[in-house]
Amino acid sequence: MKKLNESDRKDLVEFLSQDPHINLFLIGDLDMFGFNDEIQTYYGDYRDDKLVAVVFRYRDDSIHIFAESLDDEAIQFIRELTLEIKPKRYMIGEATMKHVGTRLDDFIRDNKASTLSVYYPKEEPLENHKVEILKPDDAEEILFCLRSAFDGYEGTDTATYRKRMESEDSVVYGVRNEVGTVVSVGSYTASTDNSAMIIGVATLPNEQQKGYASALVKVMSDDLLKQGRHGVLFYTNPKAARIYERMGYTPHSVYHMIDLKR
């Protein structure tokens, strides 16, 4: 397993592009940050001059693995990297997970398997809610929606989120109610030539069951398709599956977001 650099970019992109949706994070971060060791590192396993496995470190947060095969030497490298950086999680698609087997089980606290789905539109009629792209000035209302649905935003203040909207590769969509209050939000990020990840879909509790989130995801997904990109999203519960699949999201793979012991 060797550390990859700019001279390996062509091999790396070709290898990851075998499944651009599973590898959305790896391709998107390569486009954004390249081989910047302060942020991320790509490692590759070559056999007979052919790349067969990639291990990706993103900060000290996560290790992503994509592989056609993983021998014991590659697994040992992953084990040593895990001990070195102590990441929060592994991110692994189902096909690669079969190659991993049980050889990393002693690091795993909780294996959260989600369905990764890709947008192929259907002419599904949806309620006519006005969906708009929100601006940094809307940061406070966006955060209010996100905090109502997700725990991870409690420590994020409005000024920080506003700066994030201004600087990052993230586009936030929203729906307002009849008095102009933002009541439902969602965004996409990690854009590549093929895909973009839809995240942070949230509706205020007292405004749910009105079709806001469905309309928002549909408009966002159609806008991405006009750019030549497919929306990609994760879900775990059957209710979400029915909603997203009705509008055209098609299950692509199981994706494992694995919380590690720390």
Residues 142 and 226 in one domain: yes
Task: Give the per-residue pLDDT at 237.
Answer: 86
Residues 90 and 134 in one domain: no
Among 73, 103, 133, the domain-final residue is 103
Residues 123 and 249 in one domain: yes
Cα–Cα distance, 176 to 179 (Å, whole number): 8
| Residue 229: pLDDT band with limits 50, 70, 90 | very high
Residue 259 lies in a domain: no
89-93/62-67 β-pairing? parallel
Residues 50 and 22 in one domain: yes
Residue 111 lies in a domain: no
Residue 174 lies in a domain: yes
Residue 258 lies in a domain: no
Residue 140 lies in a domain: yes
Residues 53 and 146 in one domain: no
Residue 113 lies in a domain: no
Which of 82-91, 151-160, 207-216, 238-247 has the largest mean confidence? 82-91
Residue 102 tokens read as 């049980």
pLDDT in tens, 163-197: 888 876 679 999 999 999 999 999 998 889 999 99
Residues 97 and 179 in one domain: no
Residues 98 and 23 in one domain: yes
Among 40, 75, 103, the domain-final residue is 103
Residues 139 and 236 in one domain: yes
Domain residue limits at 88: 2-103
In the chain, the number of structural domains is 2
Residue 124 has pLDDT above 70, yes or no: no
pTM of the model: 0.88
Residues 74 and 173 in one domain: no
Residue 108 lies in a domain: no
- 97: CATH: 3.40.630
Residues 132 and 86 in one domain: no
Residues 84 and 123 in one domain: no
Residues 135 and 249 in one domain: yes
pLDDT in tens, 48-75: 999 999 999 999 999 999 999 999 999 9
Residue 23 lies in a domain: yes
Residue 127 has pLDDT above 80, yes or no: no
Q: What is the mean pLDDT of the chain?
A: 93
Task: Give the per-residue pLDDT at 122.
Answer: 81
Among 103, 128, 144, the domain-final residue is 103
